[in-house]
Amino acid sequence: MNFLKNYLFLFILSISSITSISQTWIKVDGGSFSSVVLRSDGTLWSMGFNGNGQLGTGNFLNQNSPTQIGTDSNWIDVATGAFHCLALKSDSTLWAWGLNGNGQLGNGTTTDRNVPIQVGSAADWQFISAGQAHSLAIKYDSTLWAWGLNSDGQLGDGSSTDRNTPTQIGTAQDWKIVSGGGGHSMAVKYDSTLWGWGNAGNGQLGAGNNVNTTSPNQIGSDTNWAEVDAGFLFSVGRRTDSTLWTWGDNNVGQLGNGTTGNRNAPVQIGSSSKWTQISASSAFAFAIRSDSALFSWGLNQFGQLGIGNTSIQRSPNQVGTTEDWVFVASAEGSITNGAVDGFHTLGIKADRDIICGAGNNLSGQLGDTTNTGKLSISCNTGQLTVGIEELKKGKEFLIYPNPTTGKLHLDLGQGNVLFQLQLRDNQGKLLEEIIANERYFELELAYPAGIYFLQFIDQSGRVSSQKVIKQ
């Protein structure tokens, strides 16, 4: 990378802003029998089971195709629990709807809601995650908050008492990522340490034992964790070197290590160091590799692994042959009548104008206008009239959402090519430098509201720039 070190940066002031994208899917998340999708025009859509109002449509009717939630167009993130949902708006307010028997909506009651309701009056929420029946969030000051079911200490407040309003967890102000599972929670701090709390009966905290804990405890001493996703009784993590790790329950191969033995400490899956995204579910998991290939493993009784059959897979298997996946989300696990539920998967490909899905579809959670399950990934859900390639015309790089409240999604146009990304303020001051060699990239804009500029420098020293607005 000497070419990057020796490159003399030329700041370009004549920069044109990217136009607003209005017709692409950005993110999808799955509840036990429902799904919610965020579109780049800031609208939210949902489909599937609605018996607890988790679709947010103002009624309790199931939907087998994407149905818009209200008319607001300022949504920027969404997270689904088993039967409830959380979402953020561009003004950094927090909203919730669906099942509320344990206070997981955070509005001070235990009454279900079938439309989004604001959680308190705070307007400084940054990151959200929903577990089976508990909720977790991080504010812009990097404090951690939790509410909902707490029977296993999954809230992390030192007790086993349910909370129906957001409760701060400790006093630390360095939380980066948090994820809720069945009865446990996992998190990564800004120093790249891994933390866990709640139920550890199957080793899902990764602490080397099966001892429950009601407050956050550091897992090991490593300082190279990039992200973590808590499944129902297991967890999946990715390190900063892009290696893949799992721990917890493994009775159906959900750890992906070729066995069915539980592990109470992180174990590496294979030797690849090219993993870019992870998703853990009831008893199966997905991951995307840097070449945009999709892989799955674990329980497969409804075909939720998308590989054309219902056979359990004890190690990662590629889903199809295409290498154009940018996002994947597997259903949140839950317990119904003593059995674990949550057996569908949704994903988004590079063109972002179609949602793909596989697995259980009895409630229409795949959104393809049917109630028929799919053994292979089917990409015919939520067809849009304008694809991302049309919107990219005249733009070498794609940045969205823009304006943003923090997180930026970048499409660099090609993979396996080194780019130097330089973030500068509106006076040209260099704020940070990042080296990227993946086509799809995420960047957290952890700076005050204002105008910023992203410079893209390729190996030949050629510079492209785009303006970014932080709200």
Looking at residue 249, its pLDDT comes to 98
Looking at residue 335, its pLDDT comes to 85
Residue-wise DSSP of 283-326: SEEEEEETTS-EEEEE--TTSTT-BSS---EEEEEE-SS---EE
Looking at residue 336, its pLDDT comes to 79
Residue-wise DSSP of 213-250: EEEEEE-SS---EEEEEE-SSEEEEEETT--EEEEE--
pLDDT, one tens digit per residue, over 116-151 is 999 999 999 999 999 999 999 999 999 999 999 999
pLDDT, one tens digit per residue, over 144-163 is 999 999 999 999 999 999 99
Q: Tokens 């296993």 label which residue?
A: 152
Q: Is the per-residue pLDDT at 244 higher than 80? A: yes
pLDDT, one tens digit per residue, over 256-296 is 999 999 999 999 999 999 999 999 999 999 999 999 999 99
Say whether 25-381 and 2-18+397-470 share the same fold.
Answer: no
Residue-wise DSSP of 89-152: ETTS-EEEEE--TTSTT-SSS---EEEEEE-SS---EEEEEE-SSEEEEEETT--EEEEE--TT
- Residues of the chain by 3-state class (helix, strand, coil), percent to 5: 0, 45, 55
Looking at residue 21, its pLDDT comes to 35
- Residues 348-365 have a mean pLDDT of 90
- Residues 230-251 have a mean pLDDT of 97
Q: What's the pTM value of the predicted model, to 2 decimals?
A: 0.81
Q: What angle do CA 251, 80, 216 make, to 5 degrees?
A: 65
- Residues 323-340 have a mean pLDDT of 89
CATH of 2-18+397-470, one of 2.60.40.3080, 2.30.30.40, 2.60.40.10, 2.60.40.1240: 2.60.40.3080
Fold of 25-381: Methylamine Dehydrogenase; Chain H (2.130.10)
Selected residue with higher pLDDT from 349 and 392? 349
Selected residue with higher pLDDT from 12 and 110? 110
- Residues 194-219 have a mean pLDDT of 98
pLDDT, one tens digit per residue, over 418-442 is 668 888 877 778 888 877 766 667 7
- Residues 351-374 have a mean pLDDT of 92
Which among 377, 383, 340 has a CA at the least distance from the CA of 361?
A: 377
pLDDT, one tens digit per residue, over 378-413 is 987 666 543 344 434 444 566 767 677 777 777 766
Structure tokens belonging to residue 354: 């179609």
Selected residue with higher pLDDT from 440 and 10? 440
- Residues 19-44 have a mean pLDDT of 81
Domain residue ranges in the chain? 2-18+397-470, 25-381
The average confidence (pLDDT) of the chain is 87
